[in-house]
Amino acid sequence: MTKARDLADYTGLQADLAGLQTNITAGDTAARAGRKNFILNGGFDVWQRGTSQTASGFGSDDRWNNLAATSTQTVSRQAFTLGQTDVPNNPKYYSRTVVSSVAGAANLIIKLYKIENVETLAGTTATLSFWAKADANKNIAIEFEQAFGTGGSPSTIVRFGTTTLSLTTSWAKQTISVALPSITGKTLGTANDHIAIVIWLDAGSNFNSRTNSLGQQSGTFEFSNVQLEKGSVATDFEHRSYGEILADCQRFYQKTDTFAHFNLTRYKGNSGNAYNSFKLACTMRSTPTFSQGGTWTASSNAGYAGTPVVSDIFKDSVTIRSDNTMGSNECVYLSSGYLMFDAEL
pLDDT (tens digit per residue) in 209-224: 999 999 999 999 999 9
In this structure, are 212 and 116 located in the same domain?
yes
pTM of the model: 0.86
Mark whether 233 and 322 lie in a shared domain.
no
The mean pLDDT of 83-97, rounded to a whole number, is 96
110 and 83 in a common domain: yes
Domain end residue (candidates: 198, 224, 244)? 244
Taking CA atoms, 190 is separated from 148, 149, 155, in Å, by 9, 6, 12
Residues 199 and 303 both lie in one domain: no
Rounded CA gap, 51 and 64, in Å?
Answer: 13
On whether both 181 and 270 belong to a single domain, the answer is no
Instruction: Give yes or no: residues 2 and 149 share one domain.
Output: no
Please indicate, yes or no, if residue 59 is contained in any of the structural domains: yes
Of the residues 183, 215, 244, which one is the last residue of a structural domain? 244
Q: Which range among 73-77, 211-215, 260-264 shows the weakest confidence by mean pLDDT? A: 260-264
Q: Are residues 201 and 262 in the same domain?
A: no
Q: Are 146 and 157 in contact (CB under 8 A)?
A: yes
Is pLDDT at 19 greater than 50 in this prediction? no
Distances (CA, A) of 159 to 114, 145, 188, 260, 273: 13, 5, 17, 48, 51
216 shares a domain with 73: yes
Could you tell me the residue range of the domain that residue 305 belongs to? 253-342
Question: Do 8 and 60 share a domain, yes or no?
Answer: no
Residues 67 and 146 in one domain: yes
Contact 80, 87 (CB under 8 A): yes
Question: Percentage of residues in the chain with pLDDT exceeding 70?
Answer: 80
pLDDT digits (tens, 9 = 90+) for 294-320: 777 666 666 556 667 788 999 999 988
Q: Is 75:52 a contact under the CB 8 Å cutoff?
A: yes
Q: Is residue 13 part of a domain?
A: yes
| Span 189-203, pLDDT tens digits | 999 999 999 999 999
Q: What is the pLDDT of residue 156?
A: 96
The verdict on 217 and 116 lying in the same domain is yes
pLDDT value, residue 13: 40
Number of domains in the chain: 3
For residue 132, the tally of other CB atoms under 10 A from its CB is 23
